[in-house]
């Protein structure tokens, strides 16, 4: 019986560790701890309502990340890949998105005041001004 309980414990621990690594949980915690994560792989990370003011996310992979209601004021997201990311209601005032890819991202309800958007790739992107397909090729 003890061997069975131990085996179940090992399986649960392994699955938990794998899930944490695979879904960006540990990376998300690291980012929240120091707000410096250029070129980080944060695919599918759950950063809803996170305080990421002034965060350095240059070139980060935020593919299908959850950033709804996140505070990204003044964050550097230049050249970040935000394909399919959810940024509904995020505060992006003063953020740098130059050269970022936002294909299929959802920015509905996001505050984009004073955001630098030069070279941003929009395609099937939900924006506060409606669906933007300007970057589709």
* pLDDT tens digits, one per residue of 28-69: 656 666 778 999 999 999 999 999 999 999 999 999 999 999
- Kindly tell me if the per-residue pLDDT of 15 is higher than 70: no
Burial (Cβ within 10 Å: 0-12, 13-18, ≥19) of residue 21: exposed
pLDDT band at 14 (very low <50, low <70, confident <90, very high): very low
Q: Who contacts 114 (Cβ-Cβ below 8 Å, separation ≥6)? A: 93, 94
Mean pLDDT across the chain: 85
List of domains in the chain: 1-137 (2.160.20.80)
- Distance, in Å, from the CA atom of 54 to the CA atom of 24, rounded to the nearest integer, reads 20
> Cβ distance 88 to 68 under 8 Å?
yes
- Distance, in Å, from the CA atom of 56 to the CA atom of 91, rounded to the nearest integer, reads 15
Share of the chain above pLDDT 70, in %: 75
- Kindly tell me if the per-residue pLDDT of 7 is higher than 80: no
36 φ, ψ (degrees, to nearest 5): -130, 105
If one compares 8 and 57, the residue with the highest pLDDT of the two is 57
If one compares 26 and 21, the residue with the highest pLDDT of the two is 26
If one compares 127 and 33, the residue with the highest pLDDT of the two is 127
- Kindly tell me if the per-residue pLDDT of 23 is higher than 50: no
Q: Which of 59, 67, 137, 78 is nearest to 108 (CA)?
A: 67
- Distance, in Å, from the CA atom of 96 to the CA atom of 135, rounded to the nearest integer, reads 18
| pLDDT tens per residue across span 68-101 | 999 999 999 999 999 999 999 999 999 999 999 9
Residue 3's pLDDT is 57
Q: What is the pTM of this model?
A: 0.77
Q: Kindly provide the residue ranges of all beta strands, DSSP E only, lying in 14-70, ordered along the sequence.
A: none
């Amino acid at each position: 019986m003890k061997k069975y309980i131990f085996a179940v414990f090992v399986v649960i621990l392994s699955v938990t560790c794998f899930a944490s690594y695979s879904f960006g949980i540990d990376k998300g915690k690291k980012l929240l701890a120091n707000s410096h994560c250029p070129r980080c792989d944060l695919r599918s990370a759950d950063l809803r309502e996170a305080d990421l003011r002034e965060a350095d996310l240059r070139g980060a992979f935020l593919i299908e990340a959850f950033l709804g209601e996140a505070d990204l004021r003044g964050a550097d997201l230049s050249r970040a890949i935000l394909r399919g990311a959810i940024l509904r209601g995020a505060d992006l005032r003063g953020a740098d998105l130059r050269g970022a890819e936002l294909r299929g991202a959802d920015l509905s309800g996001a505050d984009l005041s004073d955001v630098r958007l030069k070279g941003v790739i929009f395609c099937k992107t939900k924006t506060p001004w409606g669906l933007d397909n300007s970057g589709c090729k």
